[in-house]
Amino acid sequence: MKYYIIAGEASGDLHGANLMRSILRKDPNAEIRYWGGDAMQEVQGHPVRHIRDLAYMGIVEVAAHLSTVLGNIRFCKEDILAFNPDVIVYIDYPGFNLKIAKFAHAHGFKNVHYISPQLWAWKKGRIKSMRNVLDKLCYILPFEQDFYANNNFPKAVYVGHPLLDAASRYVVGEPITAPDGKKIVALLPGSRRMELKKTLPKMMAVVKAYPQYHFVVAGMTLLGDSFYKPLIEKADNITVVYDRTYDLLASAFAAIVCSGTATLEAALFNVPQVVCYRANAVSAAIARVLIGDKIRFISLPNLIADLAIVSELIQDDFTESRLMEEFAKVTDDVDNRQRIITGYSKIHHLLGDAGASDRTAEEIYSLMNQ
């Protein structure tokens, strides 16, 4: 069978790699063509487009790169027609992927979307189009079951969260240690250049204020030293490690994390964390209008538990003074650290067992053989 997979971000690359492994176990002769990154490339072949050229997020950011985005959409459509796959699998990345799914449906291709857009938060109007163009929607958050049941989406199926697959594959590597024996604090400032430039400089205020800790940035090789070094060069108690996020979390005493997949990764490793995020002001204003009061939280640990387990510093709350205040609570306050770890146990219970990649591969394979 021929599979065309589209992942547009670092998290999608991680989940895409595990899905490819599951597909190949199910269908050893599978021919896979994909958009992704280094993790997917380790499994098989080379990406048609690499995620380093795709990760635009936010209304203003996408508009600024509109010609590139439109060019990628045009090329993707042509490439699908040339490859003529038996199924197309879309991993998250909805702004791009749903446009391709509409085109693919019109041309008779089978469509599977893995990792649902956050319709329960905003752009619920997408659900009608998704019903029409998707043959299967595999969603990963337990509370989404009620949403899809209440919105008449029988082709939606809960497969579990793929981060459990990634965590279960993790083999303890060489611990990350400080040269002077200090406790390690993990900094996970994001995976996109623009968000990194907003989050890492504010994190540096904490680095300079807490010389008793050694801070380690979870870096990405595709950005490299030339990107990170200018942002951290004014402090001695900080280093960057590349492509070793799980080694870092396994070694960390605490963490400061940019909102996204990494917040759940920190929770799975039981690392007390402060969550932060700052988007472009215009994008944030539009998002506030669209989301309104639909959701109480932004971070995955809080969303999954429906409980304020970790502190969230979003937009105007994400200041150096507030960050240092909340950081003190996850490092110095023993009772608060225990409260967070107890909250994480609820998340572990709600998410259940690993196997999302295998269950998704089974849904895809079954669809293709109907």
Where in the sequence is the domain holding 68, given as residue range(s)? 2-160+355-368
Question: How many domains would you assign to the chain?
Answer: 2
Q: Which residues of the chain have pLDDT under 70?
A: 55-66, 121-123, 280-294
* In a domain? residue 168: no
Q: What integer pLDDT is reported at residue 279 of this predicted model?
A: 73
In this structure, what are the phi and psi dihedrals at residue 2, rounded to the nearest 5 degrees? Answer: -110, 125
Residue 275 CB partners (closer than 8 Å, separation 6+): 257, 258, 259, 263, 298, 299, 310, 311, 312, 313
Note whether 287 and 207 are same-domain residues. Answer: yes
pLDDT at 291: 44
Cα separation, 60 vs 135, whole angstroms: 32
Tell me, yes or no, whether 362 and 343 share the same domain. no
130 and 200 fall within a common domain: no
pTM: 0.86
Q: Are residues 309 and 346 both part of a single domain?
A: yes
15 and 62 co-located in one domain? yes
Q: Is position 13 within any domain?
A: yes
**Confidence (pLDDT) at 369:** 86
What is the SS3 assignment for 280?
Answer: coil
Q: Please choose, from the candidates 235, 233, 229, 231, the residue with its C-alpha nearest in 3D space to the C-alpha of residue 210.
A: 235
Tell me: do 149 and 208 sit in the same domain.
no
In a domain, 101, yes or no: yes
Tell me: do 344 and 199 sit in the same domain.
Answer: yes
Whether residues 265 and 141 share a domain: the answer is no
pLDDT on residue 55 = 56
In the prediction, which pLDDT does 118 show?
Answer: 83
277 with 138, same domain: the answer is no
Task: Specify whether 41 is located in the same domain as 148.
Answer: yes
SS3 220: coil
Q: What CATH number is attached to the domain comprising 234?
A: 3.40.50.2000
Same domain, 129 and 231: no
Same domain, yes or no: 155 and 194: no
